[in-house]
């Protein structure tokens, strides 16, 4: 066990292990050079007093190795997840189920925001929120020259296309993808949508855009810049279907009598944390364990409840993370 203090669970203070290791080394040098020891232990201010026996010398050697290893692990972890000294968390405000922005104060809230804050607290670094109005823009920031390195962690739906550039954790929540149509639409069931001539509005680069691109064979996708914009496009262009996260579609239908949301779902959207590929392995391993703990301890469930969201399911434990 390392002698460094651990003010935040799981992470010793950076530099504390190095200081004690230095004192241990000084004391061992005294012993090995046959200087007469006066006492054993740690004095005021962490100063190490000389060691008087070979047995204690061996113990100190083990402690020294442990402190050095722990320090290297911490530096590697912070370099993976907060290389600038802050945790830059990408927040997609285009999905109001996961993140919301208060209109009056501009304050961010929601399960994604709460997870980012808790992660920053555990790492012992400040959190810097980087907001986007669409999930596709979060992903695009990884490859653009202006956005490269813009974020350290993000909250996105797991998808094979995104996984080419992002290491994902297990999902923390599951939400449904649904269809909205006009009340007099001949389309009654989910299966009815994939027909020739049917036009479906989606938010560009969203999880359901990626899913439907792979799975719709006859219907045509019409893309809006953002997920909320897909509803506007559906109305303005008199498209046949609006696809999206089911809860915002239900909210819109409740306020507009001319539309309805189909029963059922066309996909389950698994929302997870992610970090860019190319970072070290320590970061993603830690994030995976972090998400599993947050689910098991009801942190995720409580955060969803605080944000007033419904029709959101906490993802089950992930056996192979």
- What is the rounded CA–CA span in Å between residue 30 and residue 149? 48
Q: Are strands 313-314 and 166-182 parallel, antiparallel or unpaired?
A: antiparallel
Of 318, 288, 312, nearest to 300 by C-alpha is 312
Q: Are strands 199-203 and 153-157 parallel, antiparallel or unpaired?
A: unpaired
Measured CA to CA in angstroms, residue 98 lies from 63, 262, 272, 310, 312 at distances of 44, 22, 11, 11, 9
| Confidence (pLDDT) at 90 | 97
Low-confidence ranges of the chain (pLDDT < 70): 1-73, 144-148, 321
Q: Which residues contact 226 (CB under 8 A, 6 or more apart)?
A: 94, 133, 134, 203, 204
**Residues 118/297, Cβ–Cβ less than 8 Å:** no
User: What per-residue confidence (pLDDT) applies to 42?
Assistant: 46
What's the confidence (pLDDT) of residue 74?
Answer: 83
Q: Is the CB of residue 201 less than 8 Å from the CB of residue 237?
A: yes
Q: Which long-range contacts link 302-305 to residues 24+ away (Cβ below 8 Å)?
A: 303/110, 303/111, 303/114, 303/115, 304/111, 304/173
Burial of 178 (0-12, 13-18, 19+ CB in 10 A): buried
Q: Are 223 and 202 in contact (CB under 8 A)?
A: yes
- Give the DSSP letter of residue 11: B
Between 16-32 and 54-81, two packed helices, what is the crossing angle to 10 degrees?
150
Spell out the residues 6+ positions from residue 8 whose beta carbon is closer than 8 angstroms to its own: 121, 122, 123, 124
pLDDT one-digit tens code per residue, 192-222: 999 999 999 999 999 999 999 999 999 999 9
pLDDT at 75: 84
CA distance 284 to 60: 32
Q: How many CB atoms lie within 10 A of CB 253?
A: 18
Cα distances (angstroms) measured from residue 168 to each of 42, 46, 165, 288:
44, 41, 10, 8
Rounded CA-CA distance 142/150 in Å is 7
């Amino acid at each position: 066990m390392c002698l460094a203090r651990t003010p935040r669970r799981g992470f010793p203070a950076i530099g504390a292990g190095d200081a004690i290791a230095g004192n241990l080394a000084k004391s061992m040098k005294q012993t090995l050079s046959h200087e007469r020891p006066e006492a054993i232990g740690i004095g005021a201010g962490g100063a190490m007093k000389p060691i008087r026996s070979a047995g204690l010398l061996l113990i100190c050697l083990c402690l020294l190795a442990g402190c050095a290893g722990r320090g290297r692990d911490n530096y590697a972890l912070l370099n993976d997840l907060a290389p600038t000294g802050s945790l830059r968390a990408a927040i997609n405000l285009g999905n109001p189920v996961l993140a919301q922005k208060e209109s009056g104060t501009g304050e961010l809230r929601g399960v994604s925001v709460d997870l980012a804050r808790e992660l920053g607290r555990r790492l012992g670094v400040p959190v810097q929120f980087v907001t986007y109005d669409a999930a596709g823009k979060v992903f695009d920031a990884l490859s653009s020259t202006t956005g490269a390195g813009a974020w350290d962690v993000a909250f996105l739906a797991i998808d094979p296309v995104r996984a080419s550039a992002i290491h994902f954790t297990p999902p923390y929540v599951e939400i449904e993808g649904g269809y909205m149509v006009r009340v007099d639409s001949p389309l009654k069931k989910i299966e009815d949508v994939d027909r020739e001539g049917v036009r479906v509005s989606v938010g560009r680069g969203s999880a359901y855009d990626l899913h439907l691109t792979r799975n719709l064979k006859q219907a045509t996708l019409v893309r809006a810049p953002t997920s909320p914009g897909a509803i506007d496009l559906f109305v303005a262009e008199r498209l046949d279907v609006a696809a999206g996260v089911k809860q915002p579609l239900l909210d819109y239908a409740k306020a507009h009598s001319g539309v309805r949301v189909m029963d059922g779902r066309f996909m389950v959207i698994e929302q997870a944390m992610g970090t860019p590929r190319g970072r070290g392995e320590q970061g993603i391993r830690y994030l995976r364990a972090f998400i599993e703990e947050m689910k098991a301890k009801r942190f995720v469930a409580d955060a969803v409840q605080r944000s007033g969201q419904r029709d959101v399911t906490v993802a089950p434990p992930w056996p192979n993370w």
